[in-house]
Structure 1
Amino acid sequence: MKDMRLPPAMLIAVLLSAALLVVACVTPTAPEGASDGSTTGLYARIVTAANPVRLEMARDAPIVGLLWHGMRLPVTGRNMTWEWLKVKLPPSLSSFGAEGWIVGPPEFALIEGGGCADIPLQMPVPTPAG
């Protein structure tokens, strides 16, 4: 029977990735300006230099704009794996629609005002063929 154990370096990488996801999704932070600890909704705060906004939740989907480090957008949904977040677009990108998809926690954006469990699940809507 073949040995199915992971090499130690790969096991450590997997465990660290899981820990980062737990910290990014479970540890709620109060939104800026909420000094009394109250929350005003769920927000994604961009933590990379730039995060592309896409029309659909796919890395090869058309990019409709870029979000910059520190920007905060209201979160309206997520996919089943919490990799993608559906966000309300700022007025500068609203000509492409009211909402778009970004890669979320933990590498591109952090959740403020709640945790990942508070974000409603959004099932993808198939794009019509043709």
Structure 2
Amino acid sequence: MNKRILLLVGVMSSVMSLAQAQTGDVKSPDINEIQKDRKELRQDQKERNEAQQQVNVDKRRLVQDRKNKASSTQLVTDQKALQKAREVRNKEQGEVNADKKELHKNIQDLRKDHQQRKEAKRNKKHEKHNG
């Protein structure tokens, strides 16, 4: 949960950088912020992979329990726990996908803004020499 908050803070600071860039307060997009956001996304992916591995372990254990004719109440409990783990994983995956989409959009916006500022600076130089 804290990592998601940090990720959103990072995304919001990227948005703020973009807003400042549009007003001319910032000279270039903050590459460090983008790299930090990407690192957090990789960490989230790693955590999801670990959760998926745990789900896989639970599945294997459940199958083994069935083979060993474990008690039906234990199987039902395991199935409910497995279903709950799937729901949590799917919910987190959806949130991370939304965060990735927003981050990607912010990165594109920053690049576009940077390109526009470079062109404006170049045009200003040409006007100075030709004007």
TM-score (norm: length of structure 2):
0.25
Query: If you compute each CA radius of gyration, which structure gives the higher value, 1 or 2?
Result: 2
TM-score (norm: length of structure 1):
0.25
Q: State the structure with bigger RCO (CA 8 A, min sep 6), 1 or 2.
A: 2
Name the structure where helix makes up a greater proportion of residues: 2
